[in-house]
Structure 1
């Protein structure tokens, strides 16, 4: 059911720790702030000393409570916030008080968020040069940022059927991209007038995920790359083709936004899991579960690194790769980090794709109950600079299983082939999900949210929020809480890191000291937080904002966008 849009202005009555009135704005223009996906906000008003004073300043309700959690990350430019609901409709609100300015409704176009048996989800928009871009359903939309009107000249009436444009030459009888299982879940990236986006979905029989480069003025597809090459006509066939044996070549969707390094002229895409009967796809199954680096101009493959071989556990890459620079043994390193649903954190040199610290091909169980299955005998396990195995972002062996539930079942090692009555960790819904990593150049730490949810666990999930030193691979601090650690974090120049958690009964929004991990503040939003926060300033005042609301797997529904700030003068 869709209700009217509502806004509540929360008036702060406390004057303690008030903020200075500086006429300054700090924007959040791209999905994860910048091309690198750093999620590092250059704001300093909120600090470890005053974060406990944070109050809800306003909330906005878009009125859409579907069977999918509220996953949008707000984009804020020139005092206007742009958010989406799970169907992909776009809302512009005043970032200072939450009042609705305009709405672009795609409900009718996208069948109320459901088509061909699929339920859409949406994680936000991106902004460039007065235009808001949104990838929803299987379309790319371009909207005037001030009015919400579709951009004339972009596709047909402001919407471009970009996935269908790519599929048609090979699948002439296809009328809609969604009929083949293709749609978008992520916001596009944009650089120099070109949009970059990946199509999902891995839990479908799609013949590979497509990375698209799209002209931001016209909606024309400039080039595309298939993550699971289907024939010799597809780039990368010579590498990936022989790694699929038995006829199956499905999956490899792209769940989140690409990252871009303009100096290297490269973009980086995190590819999802293979799909289908594992007995029909013997081999590594490239480029599934890989980080793929492509040239910005042409989409030519530069390098790849596979994080999981021959995946049968749904251990895919759900988040945007994060790019950052650091010093290792006195030498500069252009790094990339990716946390996987297998609970391991991978740190690569983004120029070459080589590991910064050892990643060791480690023998894993291969005895299987499935006739004809050929499990891969090793998996790449990250190690620290000193050679010890890294601490995973969440447990890789099932813990805290209720004894009555464990009776008659086997607790098995990670990467054990699937079978009857086994419990393993992480399960399909565990590890690091779509929530992005944050990086602070001030602390030098990566901040990773993850889920401890073993397969067939007999208990609820726990959130693991961790800070790692990427120069050594060491775990620096960790907070563990009840519920899903699914959304990403944001860290500020002021030394505070924010993250949310989701459960059936609550959705706590936390502030931690970015250096020490000390909890500074928490707020119960009333429904689970499965989204990633953003930080911005309007008229000299710093806000932190997050979407709250579950909607599936028994979660309490919700449609809130909340913004918090220090008490006003």
Structure 2
């Protein structure tokens, strides 16, 4: 038998590829139809199989059949995705490439007839035409962005006074610059016209990197430094406190709190420090050991202490607690070092240090309390304690008594209004997150709420619940932002609360009453055995809640993983937002990563807008019945050392399997964009502009800078100069944006993930600096680092 020619070998290879692709699409498509999904994949698979058979038989109809497949794919893709490039590309890319291969002369030449009509002499003509049309549609999609909301924010009123709250305009005294949590700098030297001239002024490396023995996966460098006088102050993941020269980055001092080893840590981070200025020094306070400590820094540690430091020297303020610290484990139930500590800075105002703490999520039902406490800023004496499960008893507990175990906690950042005498505390829910059958009435009342506490007594003045009977880990994740809004020509003191589910609640901060309307909507029912769901859930008039997902929203690099995502979607329980966790597995969208997380928003008080970074990632949640309180149901083996077995929920009826909603090759099953920047008018609730933000350069196996829009973890800062800055996207850049339009004006490459909130200050040289942390995030897998980078305009 004569050997096959290279030409015939190519035909056989291409036919085999078509047949394999057709079999996969037909088999998966049949499965999807059985689940109630689209018929496209089955029909396309049969078309590929027919093309392969006709090609082997040497029939020109092979090209005609495939032309029909391409045309049908284009029509289907346009119906589902419109002129949206990435959904179009993944739907049509495979068939376009196969069609181009079929038009190779080595394939078409044997199929031509020497005589006859045009189709006989040029059998590939119909296929060439539909491929050309497909290419034209693809090119047209490059110039459209169906996800973009174009608009322009009104200019700030002329002559508007800089908002300083008694803090020098060039300084940054709290996590959000002031305790109002706006993340707004009154500095205006950097403008949309000159921001592209920013350059690195100095760079400092802390030497503190994740990956040390005992580190949990979520070891992160999330700090927003303070700028006070002639110094910068920051803390590192392993709890070092460092003072730097703000003009040079030179290290001035470093404090090591000597953290206890063998900690049961879920997270290891420090988002910032609390600060008490000299004017707040209590009259006649005991100087203790001859040290005055006129000003103080307050540092919460991973082993459950609150340390007071002298900003000048970095030494302990011995009069605070007797030796420079207070033990946050006092009166705590279920003492397990590392299972409770504050990852966020305390609020320090009116001579009170207000601090909450994180407890282990989804480990057990025997965790420490989520109590919020107020300490005397001078002596460290406990002034009051507010336990969400026992909310009216705020006097310090007698010796021998403990706070309520497992009560809702506040792991994020609080805000304060000194004039009203209130501290605003964002609360999570009681662990375990996905089962609430055993929660008390008081726990239910305050879970997943923002609560206004009296600074003097700790008594609750009001609270607003953002989720009823939270089963989705929709903790109130971010610091409230306080801003005075002009509503109907009247000034209204407002509080803006971002949430994981995408709502921005705009409330009167005196009473908690909504300024923008809040509507109760009917919610999905049918919780797991032993639990229940709330009949309705609140929705704000200002919301970034995404539309519900359906099959047309599924995505992948190819038709195959997209098909797998559609099958997976049909196998999950999903009835929109607030679908209860289930034994079969539920789709949770928005996921517990949150539309907004701890980075929060930035508020321009003069333009009265919120600059935000909404993110969209779906997760899945599957409950697994527990038969005992010892076995591992989710973890394949016990964690090393003292690290906790996450999501086992010892003591609860169910463990929970939580994971992102990903395709078989690890891409999000939902189509991009996954991250945006946006501005919203806080007086009307209108979203003024919204643009996808960030590239997949540092997420994809091949570092291609496709601008698909990626999530951000770490908040923005806005400046009076009309520029906003953000470094937390999952690609390693810090960016500057025009606040008025959202246009990206400048970006600089970072040496690691920038999952922290930038800040801005003025140096002794009169220049405005933008300070960025590049240290990465363990759970997100962004590159680890230890860099502190300052940018400024050239001198």
d(CA) in 2 for partners of 1:166, 1:563: 42
Residue 631 (structure 2) pairs with residue 468 (structure 1): no
Deviates more, 1:121-130 or 1:541-550: 121-130
Distance 1:298 1:154, change over 3 A: same
Residue 187 (structure 2) pairs with residue 43 (structure 1): yes
| Coordinate RMSD, CA, aligned | 2.3
Match of 1:409 in 2: 569
The equivalent position to 1:453 in structure 2, one of 601, 605, 617, is 617
Match of 2:350 in 1: 192
Shift of the alpha carbon at 1:233? 5.1
d(CA) in 1 for partners of 2:421, 2:336: 30
Distance 1:561 1:228, change over 3 A: farther
Match of 1:507 in 2: 732
Match of 1:160 in 2: 326
d(CA) in 1 for partners of 2:169, 2:440: 54
Shift of the alpha carbon at 1:213? 0.9
**8 Å contact kept, 1:465–1:485:** no
User: Which has the higher Rg, Structure 1 or Structure 2?
Assistant: 2
Distance 1:396 1:256, change over 3 A: farther
Match of 1:74 in 2: 225
Residue 463 (structure 2) pairs with residue 304 (structure 1): yes
d(CA) in 1 for partners of 2:591, 2:507: 25
Q: Secondary structure at the match of 1:406?
A: helix
Residue 428 (structure 2) pairs with residue 272 (structure 1): yes
**8 Å contact kept, 1:393–1:450:** no
Distance 1:401 1:338, change over 3 A: farther
Match of 2:379 in 1: 218
Distance 1:117 1:542, change over 3 A: closer
d(CA) in 2 for partners of 1:328, 1:81: 38
d(CA) in 1 for partners of 2:609, 2:331: 40
Distance 1:313 1:360, change over 3 A: same
Q: Deviations over 1:198-246 (max 9, x none)?
A: 122261643541211111111111111012338x8579xxxxxxxxxxx
Shift of the alpha carbon at 1:374? 0.8
**8 Å contact kept, 1:25–1:538:** no
d(CA) in 2 for partners of 1:200, 1:251: 11
d(CA) in 2 for partners of 1:178, 1:227: 22
Counting helix residues as a fraction of each chain, which structure ranks higher? 2
Q: Secondary structure at the match of 1:278?
A: coil
**8 Å contact kept, 1:83–1:91:** yes
Match of 2:64 in 1: none
Counting strand residues as a fraction of each chain, which structure ranks higher? 1
Q: Secondary structure at the match of 1:224?
A: strand
Distance 1:513 1:546, change over 3 A: same
Shift of the alpha carbon at 1:282? 7.6
d(CA) in 1 for partners of 2:548, 2:346: 32
**8 Å contact kept, 2:554–2:565:** no
Distance 1:465 1:201, change over 3 A: farther
Match of 2:281 in 1: none
Residue 536 (structure 2) pairs with residue 378 (structure 1): yes
Q: Secondary structure at the match of 2:196?
A: helix
Pairing of 1:335-414 with structure 2 (within 5 A): 335-368=494-527, 370-383=528-541, 390-392=542-544, 397=549, 399-402=553-556, 403=562, 404-410=564-570, 411-414=574-577
Match of 1:110 in 2: 260
Q: Deviations over 1:26-59 (max 9, x none)?
A: 1111121112112111101100000011112111
Distance 1:249 1:153, change over 3 A: closer
**8 Å contact kept, 1:501–1:529:** yes
Distance 1:151 1:234, change over 3 A: closer
Pairing of 1:202-217 with structure 2 (within 5 A): 203=361, 205=365, 206=367, 208-217=369-378
Shift of the alpha carbon at 1:298? 0.6
Residue 238 (structure 2) pairs with residue 87 (structure 1): yes
Match of 2:769 in 1: 543
Pairing of 1:134-153 with structure 2 (within 5 A): 134-137=299-302, 138-153=304-319
Q: Secondary structure at the match of 2:359?
A: coil
d(CA) in 2 for partners of 1:233, 1:192: 22
Distance 1:53 1:313, change over 3 A: same
d(CA) in 1 for partners of 2:566, 2:337: 41
Distance 1:117 1:268, change over 3 A: closer
**Structure 2 stretches lacking a partner, 5+ long:** 1-167, 211-216, 279-294, 396-403, 557-561, 620-659, 694-708
Match of 1:97 in 2: 248
d(CA) in 2 for partners of 1:409, 1:366: 19
Match of 2:587 in 1: 423
Q: Deviations over 1:371-392 (max 9, x none)?
A: 2221111100012xxxxxx441
Shift of the alpha carbon at 1:117? 4.3
Distance 1:427 1:127, change over 3 A: same
Q: Secondary structure at the match of 2:446?
A: coil
**8 Å contact kept, 2:755–2:777:** no
**8 Å contact kept, 1:449–1:487:** no
Distance 1:155 1:109, change over 3 A: same
Q: Secondary structure at the match of 1:164?
A: coil
**8 Å contact kept, 1:500–1:508:** yes
- After TM superposition, which residue ranges in structure 1, 4 or more long, deviate above 6 angstroms? none
d(CA) in 2 for partners of 1:249, 1:153: 31
Distance 1:198 1:395, change over 3 A: farther
d(CA) in 1 for partners of 2:412, 2:684: 27
Deviates more, 1:90-99 or 1:396-405: 396-405
| Greater RCO (CA < 8 Å, at least 6 residues apart) | 1
Report the number of matched residues.
512
Residue 691 (structure 2) pairs with residue 479 (structure 1): yes
**8 Å contact kept, 2:264–2:336:** no
**8 Å contact kept, 2:502–2:543:** no
Q: Deviations over 1:142-169 (max 9, x none)?
A: 11111101111112421211x22343xx
d(CA) in 1 for partners of 2:321, 2:264: 23
d(CA) in 1 for partners of 2:586, 2:565: 11
What TM-score, normalized to structure 2? Answer: 0.62
d(CA) in 2 for partners of 1:538, 1:225: 40
d(CA) in 2 for partners of 1:177, 1:351: 38
**8 Å contact kept, 1:256–1:319:** yes
d(CA) in 1 for partners of 2:493, 2:444: 28
Distance 1:177 1:323, change over 3 A: farther
d(CA) in 1 for partners of 2:305, 2:297: 14
